Structure 1
Amino acid sequence: MSQTTTYLAEPTASDEGLSSAFRPVIDKVAEGNAERERGRIFPYEQVRWLNDAGFGTLRIPAIHGGFGASLEDTFVLLAELAEADPNVAHVWRNHLAFVEDRLNAPVTDSNDTWIKRFLGGEFVGGGWTEANNVPLASLTTTITQEDDHWVISGAKYYATGSLYADWLDVLGRADDGELLTALVRSEDSGVTLIDDWDGFGQRTTASGTARYKRARADRGDVFPATERFSYRGHFYQNAMLSVLTGITKAALRDGSSALAERIRNYPQGLTTVPAADPQLLQVIGEVSADVFAAEAALARSSRSLDRIVVGRIAGDEAGARRRLIDAEVAVDQAQLVIISAALSATTRIFDALGASGVSEGRGLDRHWRNARTLASHNPRVYKARILGDWLINRTDPVADLAALGRGGQGN
């Protein structure tokens, strides 16, 4: 595929330019994070700040009006945002994935319209997982052609970002059984969004139910699911890993501050000042290594996705499957590393603290709750087996990606 047939282009963004554009906004988002978490206050304002700054156009090439960021740039920024507020960061997962999908799509008038929508600040949420406990292979959501448009009926759960969205990305079946994805306006009279997400973590991501009763989608807003970008599962998973990396960094940040503020030590301590106790300092050092491991793994898995994009831009179809397999291996390995690092850091940080560390005012429990919740998506127990089977038996690790649920939006 040549460079001119899609919207993809070589990245042009600089670290300095991206930091200048987004660091002040991310710092602002960090303010009041613990209070929002404690009161389950939805961050509508914070999402809008990021949207106004163009966060949703990170991956759009500069020649098309965006920031021209690489995937590595994007996921690193997402991790920084997650350090500030992991709920806000997770809200962006579906939007960024759909932008990536349209960048991979052919240049057409309808896709030009989508690029303009993104540049205009229109935001995409939604979910593919059925709300009736059936697997994706048994979808009951329907997308039916009617006159000059489509009609969508069904119900979804894990509809992350839906309450913040202008558009909802919905997976369903046509009358002939073909899998389609439809983009539906959230304000459509046939759409009902329900805040019934009851997880103990990631509580303000609007990951509840979305119901569709003859909601409308226009012709240019319905796409065959098989034509969605090849590394979509990798992208969704890597976005989740970005959020987990940010949580790991936040645990180190808040745990270090709490240790520095401790006044008295236990009788068994090696010093009277906790911040000088070698054993407590060792805990902080070990948690810092968790952060290092998470950031290194995220960078490597993100670069594997950038290599897929480079191959598509160059039109190297012969090496496409090899790059997809390499990315699958890298993202699976990163998932094992980052989840272990996040759960370790968010638990062990308490070993450096006294009973005051469990104060609700500090809210350090939110880091573990959020990490545990995210780690429960697309469970890691399967990943090591898949990796081992590939390394020993060369069993294709991407053979089942067509099932759509693997590495997708939730389970």
Structure 2
Amino acid sequence: MSRVRDAVHRFTAVFDDVGRDAVTRERDRRLPHAEVAALREAGFTRVTLPEEFGGGGEAPSVLFELLAELARRDPNLAQLFRSHFSFVDRTVLAPPSSQRTRRLELISSGAIVGNASHERSTAKVGTLATTLADSPDGLVLDGTKYYSTGTLFADLVSVAAQDEGGALVSALVPTNASGVEVIDDWTGFGQRMTGSGTTVFRAVTVTEDAVSRRLTGGPSHGGAFVQLVLLATVAGIGRAIVDDAVQFVQTRTRTFSHGSAAMAREDPIVQETVGRLSALAFAADSALASAAAGLDESTTAQQSGASGEELRAIIEPVEASTTRAQLVILPSVLDAATLLFEVGGASAVDTGLALDRHWRNARTIASHNPTPFKARALGDLLLNGIPVPGWWSTGEA
């Protein structure tokens, strides 16, 4: 826990700084380019990079706590780094190679990695319409991606595609490369500044060194990792709800004639509401910490050389714990985001406070991986011994 406390302390000042205008950004939908730059400058994007590459060398559990604290100030900032930290994690855990070294050196130099995985195409589930094909000039990438979270703020983007043989590949492409167009067209009602819109690739030249061939069937905690980034973000929203409730009540001077005290902060009904908000946030925090501990175990095992069935035996419980955490964190914070308004009257819905942002942001994140499907998968594990799937994909039926 001391490493977690030390890390939080180290980044508290920059988190406070980038979160200072979060409500104004939310209201005006101002993209946080300056804030992302400040976090990069402070070393946040390198916090899990190995120390030999100039990073912090922190474990996943430390990262998720930092993301929750960042989300407490602005959940957009926490979510937009999802693909960046996932890229760092899988690169750190990859076998030694010249490609791995070059990629870690890119992160060391301050590069931020975005995402181009999902599509709104006619491709079937498990396949992609984006292609990486041979041409007289070398490899060429073509396709259109959506939900490109973080790519508006990134230097590089990791693009999921299919090669001419139908195999899944990943290409690391500069966002300023010829033929790449990053479009700010995300229209979700929450998490409005995450850059989760469209990225288009038109005959983009790709070097062979930029391509990773995806291994299938081997154990990986990558699915749990990306899910826990989202859950850490929602847990941070839960903390922000408590913060806003306390600040609102402590500064409130108006009360109701049928209230139970002269001041809102002394009213036992208001006190009970704030206490319940705190308990809901505590449930979210506890579930996050429990699941994150499993990622630490998996990371340590892989760094010690575990693989195959030995590693699978470690990762499968991590997937189950992450699913359980989702079924605790999301409803807890969504309930808290509604209960929050019971601490005050009509003044609590003032757009200047933007208290509605908590529900909209949490609901938007919760829609990434619908909980009924996750609950069913967990039930299948308990009833029939079927492991919780580590990776999920979307597409036409």
User: If the length of structure 2 is used for normalisation, what is the TM-score?
Assistant: 0.95
Q: What's the CA shift string for 1:166-215, capped at 9, x where partnerless?
A: 11111110001110011111001211111111100000111000010011
- Give 1:226 deviation, angstroms: 2.1
Q: After superposing the two structures, state which structure 1 stretch, 127-136 or 257-266, moved more.
A: 127-136
Please tell me whether residue 42 in structure 1 is matched to residue 12 in structure 2: no
Q: Which residue of 2 aligns with 1:81?
A: 70
Distance in structure 2 (CA, Å) of the matches to 1:361 and 1:16: 33
Moved over 3 A (4+): 133-136, 145-149
Distance in structure 1 (CA, Å) of the matches to 2:306 and 2:198: 41
SS of the counterpart of 2:200?
A: strand
Q: Which residue of 1 aligns with 2:58?
A: 69
- Give 1:54 deviation, angstroms: 1.4
Please tell me whether residue 356 in structure 1 is matched to residue 347 in structure 2: yes
The answer (yes or no) to whether the contact 2:149–2:196 under 8 Å persists in 1 is yes
Q: Which residue of 1 aligns with 2:227?
A: 237
Q: Which residue of 1 aligns with 2:261?
A: 271
- Give 1:133 deviation, angstroms: 5.4
Give 1:388's aligned amino acid: G
Q: Which residue of 2 aligns with 1:9?
A: none
Please tell me whether residue 105 in structure 1 is matched to residue 94 in structure 2: yes
SS of the counterpart of 1:171?
A: strand
Distance in structure 2 (CA, Å) of the matches to 1:108 and 1:365: 48
Distance in structure 1 (CA, Å) of the matches to 2:33 and 2:122: 29
Match of 2:44 among 22, 32, 55: 55
Q: Which residue of 1 aligns with 2:237?
A: 247
Distance in structure 2 (CA, Å) of the matches to 1:136 and 1:41: 35
CA RMSD of aligned residues (A): 1.9
- Give 1:13 deviation, angstroms: 8.8
Evaluate the alpha carbon distance shift between residue 153 and residue 229 of structure 1 in structure 2; reply closer, same or farther with a 3 A threshold: farther
Q: What's the CA shift string for 1:277-313, capped at 9, x where partnerless?
A: 0011000000000111111100011111111111112
Please tell me whether residue 384 in structure 1 is matched to residue 375 in structure 2: yes
Distance in structure 1 (CA, Å) of the matches to 2:241 and 2:122: 34
Number of residue-to-residue matches in the alignment? 393
Q: Which residue of 2 aligns with 1:405?
A: 393
Evaluate the alpha carbon distance shift between residue 243 and residue 229 of structure 1 in structure 2; reply closer, same or farther with a 3 A threshold: farther
Q: Which residue of 1 aligns with 2:280?
A: 290
Q: Which residue of 1 aligns with 2:363?
A: 372
1:5-404 to 2 correspondence within 5 Å? 14-132=3-121, 134-146=123-135, 149-226=138-215, 230-317=220-307, 318-398=309-389, 401=390, 404=392
The answer (yes or no) to whether the contact 1:148–1:218 under 8 Å persists in 2 is no
Distance in structure 2 (CA, Å) of the matches to 1:187 and 1:281: 52
Q: Which runs of 5+ in 1 are unaligned?
A: 1-11, 407-411
Q: Which runs of 5+ in 2 are unaligned?
A: none
Q: What's the CA shift string for 1:337-381, capped at 9, x where partnerless?
A: 000111011110101111100000111011111011001111111
- Give 1:17 deviation, angstroms: 4.1
- Give 1:154 deviation, angstroms: 0.4
Q: What's the CA shift string for 1:39-98, capped at 9, x where partnerless?
A: 000000000111111111111122332101010000000000000111111110010000
The answer (yes or no) to whether the contact 1:30–1:85 under 8 Å persists in 2 is yes
The answer (yes or no) to whether the contact 1:101–1:229 under 8 Å persists in 2 is no
The answer (yes or no) to whether the contact 1:130–1:136 under 8 Å persists in 2 is no
Distance in structure 2 (CA, Å) of the matches to 1:323 and 1:272: 56
Evaluate the alpha carbon distance shift between residue 119 and residue 67 of structure 1 in structure 2; reply closer, same or farther with a 3 A threshold: same
Distance in structure 1 (CA, Å) of the matches to 2:137 and 2:60: 36
